[in-house]
Structure 1
Amino acid sequence: MLTISTAFDSGAIDVISLEDPSHIRLNLRADNAAPLRQWFHFRLAGTAFRECVMHIENAGQSAYPGGWTDYAARASYDGVEWFTVPTSYENGVLTIRHQPQRDSVYYAYFEPYSFERHLQTLGHAQVTGEAVVQELGQTVDGRPLDLLRVGTPDAGKKKIWIIARQHPGETMAEWFAEGLVSALLDPHHAVARKLLTEAVFYIVPNMNPDGSVRGNLRTNAAGTNLNRAWFAPSIETSPEVLLVRDAMEQTGVDAFLDVHGDESIPHNFVAGCQDNPSFSERQRTLSATFKAAWLAASPDFQVEHGYGDGRFGPETLTMATNWVGDRFDCLAFTIEMPFKDTANLPVPDVGWNGERSAQFGVSVLTPLLAVVRDLR
């Protein structure tokens, strides 16, 4: 008997019909309080090694239908090792074809990052003795919103803020944060050691714990897109942003990175705050130095493909990178990674995944070192 379950962390799919393994009919499930859908994560059991053909029939009504072209779904038997499976998109329907080699298998839009792993990463960091975990407050659902400080505050040290996963379905962002934190805590990582003599890191690995557990794509439990709430956050609908903004006001910010994933563009890239009326030549020079150093450090980074200027119009200062860059007159970037594989260095068996995201997180320390002494 075939069954589909989603009763676990980040589980999300709606079942239309499950009688025939060669014609399983599904729908993407919307965020709990917003009409946005793209994320899916479910367990299919009872396959008995038969070929399964799953049709996600409302993929054309997803938040980013352009993201389905050249996309491949991820699958796993144990929730640890993930691989790509044949996927096609036609006439608004996303079709996944796979003959499982075990009786149960997980499928997901991208390699998940569980809240349990989030807590374990924080716990591991604080027992090293090099990091401090601070609960800034609580989310709409009452989960802790945690800040990880790495390094010892001291006069003259720069303050580098990094946040990830404002959009909960962009799980590559938290894999990126895990890789970066691991490198910062590695006593043998020379770049990290040097950076920590110059700077203190303030890291929020998951800005949206509620949306992450609920299996949302872009919003928190109140239905708020956190990356459009930075100009005027509220304790009722966007406490996560308000709490982080308040903490930033206490510490100051000399550099800021906001880590995301992009559904459509098969490249890693950054988007700065050059659309801000306050954008200065100093910020422009810092941005150019940062990008040049990252290009030299990582073949996974590129600057030819990304967002054009003026893309977000009147929403600009509601977004984290633009608001922080304006408020603190600092280097500020949004980092985008793909849901698809990278076009320049593809790995078709796994696509862009958690491990590659984590390695990319490590690599960002090199461009930060290139600019740290020139930060305010």
Structure 2
Amino acid sequence: MHITSAFDGGNITLVNADSSPIELAIRQDNNSDFYQWFYFRLEGRVGDSYPLRFVNAGKAAYPAGWDNYRVCASYDRDHWFRLDAHYDGQCLDFTVDLEQPSVYLAYFAPYSWERHLNLLAWAQGHDQVQLETLGQTLDGRDMSLLTIGDAATAKHRVWMIARQHPGETMAEWFVEGFLESLLDPANPGARQLLADTVFYLVPNMNPDGSVRGHLRTNAVGANLNREWSNPTMERSPEVYLVRQRMLQVGGDIFLDIHGDEALPVNFVAACEGIPGYDARHAELEQRFKQAFVAVSPDFQTGRGYELDKPGEANMTVGTNWCGHQFRTLALTLEMPFKDNDELPDTGEGWSPDRCRQLAQDILFPIRETLAHMDSGRNPVDTPA
């Protein structure tokens, strides 16, 4: 038996290979107490069963995330299926019945750095796409921005950023599906949007954390979604670079794509606790959510985070900073690590394909919200 995580995004420590179950521990993010993301390969004898135990699951960042959780597994790193697991409040146990010589096991279907680069290369081949490097991360990786549409003539500007928390790989699967739909010449909704709207997309806000196998932080342990009020090039260049471009061009809608460890549904969190939150914010949020529910059975509004009280929003969070700075619609979209309990899939749980489909569906609420903006409001001011 052999276990390794010495590859892009890998994370596991072998504690005891001779015990039954085999004891493993998830590594913490660098300079941080956060951990929950795991990704490793197990090699053994076909036909044998390998009981595995995460001995430190109970002290992970979000222990509630292990309740009713099923492990993602793949033999070819293309099709991912689920393995049942048991959490006793301290350890997570599951068993692999090996059907091929080796299997990959992960918290969610990984989105590799190589696939990220392939996505950028594919997107730049479209006439309406511009690829731009905003700067570098602390590990020297590129911070890439995709601009889709004609910024010089566009009436609307929509921002989408993903994977501030690198272990939330469903966010980049979502961006992939969004780009596939937006750049599909046979999609009339996409063509209509691109006639007067420019999209600014950052497919991966945290390249270093993604490659290092982190759950939530960048190379030096900064939680990027707590850096928006005062980012620096020394600690959080990822946020600093994107935020600077946002200030240059402004925007009408800001969408931050994430995953939630505990809640087994898709939902959005808004910016109701920011200073200056008003009836227009509330109306835009309601329009967006109503349109999303109408088009996607995978989206719901009944479950989500507890609402912030007026004036008590954490202004270091990206959605809150954007909603306040630009006085417009800013939402965090959360997808599950587990499954959508309202439409469960016993084989795959919440999956890359479901992420991509939800992303295709989001074109409709974007279009409907922009149309509502046009129907009776002044344009959002663009910062100087």
Q: What's the TM-score, normalizing by structure 1?
A: 0.97
User: Gapped runs of 5+ residues in structure 1?
Assistant: none
Amino acid corresponding to residue 7 of structure 1 in structure 2: A
User: Which residue pairs with 2:10 in the alignment?
Assistant: 11
Identity over aligned pairs, percent? 48
Conserved? CA contact 1:49–1:103, under 8 Å: no
Residue 23 (structure 1) shift = 1.6
Amino acid corresponding to residue 94 of structure 1 in structure 2: L
**SS of corresponding position for 1:122:** helix
Amino acid corresponding to residue 213 of structure 1 in structure 2: V
User: Which residue pairs with 1:36 in the alignment?
Assistant: 34
2:292 to 291, 294, 319: 294
Residue 310 (structure 1) shift = 2.0
After superposition, the Cα gap between the structure-2 partners of 1:103 and 1:311, relative to the gap in structure 1 and judged at 3 Å, is farther
* 1:344-363 equivalence runs, <5 A: 344-363=342-361
User: Which residue pairs with 2:99 in the alignment?
Assistant: 101
**SS of corresponding position for 2:225:** helix
Amino acid corresponding to residue 103 of structure 1 in structure 2: P
- Structure 2: distance between partners of 1:315 and 1:243: 23
- Structure 1: distance between partners of 2:309 and 2:102: 43
Pairing 1:340–2:326 present:
no
After superposition, the Cα gap between the structure-2 partners of 1:190 and 1:89, relative to the gap in structure 1 and judged at 3 Å, is same
* 1:142-221 equivalence runs, <5 A: 142-155=140-153, 157-221=155-219
User: Which residue pairs with 1:261 in the alignment?
Assistant: 259
Conserved? CA contact 2:273–2:312, under 8 Å: no
1:271 to 266, 269, 272: 269
* 1:69-88 equivalence runs, <5 A: 69-88=67-86
Amino acid corresponding to residue 204 of structure 1 in structure 2: V
- Structure 2: distance between partners of 1:347 and 1:332: 30
Conserved? CA contact 1:39–1:217, under 8 Å: yes
Amino acid corresponding to residue 354 of structure 2 in structure 1: R
Amino acid corresponding to residue 3 of structure 2 in structure 1: I
- Structure 1: distance between partners of 2:359 and 2:45: 37
**SS of corresponding position for 1:296:** helix
Conserved? CA contact 2:25–2:54, under 8 Å: yes
Residue 353 (structure 1) shift = 1.0
Amino acid corresponding to residue 288 of structure 1 in structure 2: Q
After superposition, the Cα gap between the structure-2 partners of 1:315 and 1:143, relative to the gap in structure 1 and judged at 3 Å, is farther
Pairing 1:307–2:325 present:
no
Residue 313 (structure 1) shift = 8.5
**SS of corresponding position for 1:73:** strand
- Structure 2: distance between partners of 1:35 and 1:315: 24
Q: What's the TM-score, normalizing by structure 2?
A: 0.95
Report how many residues are paired.
374
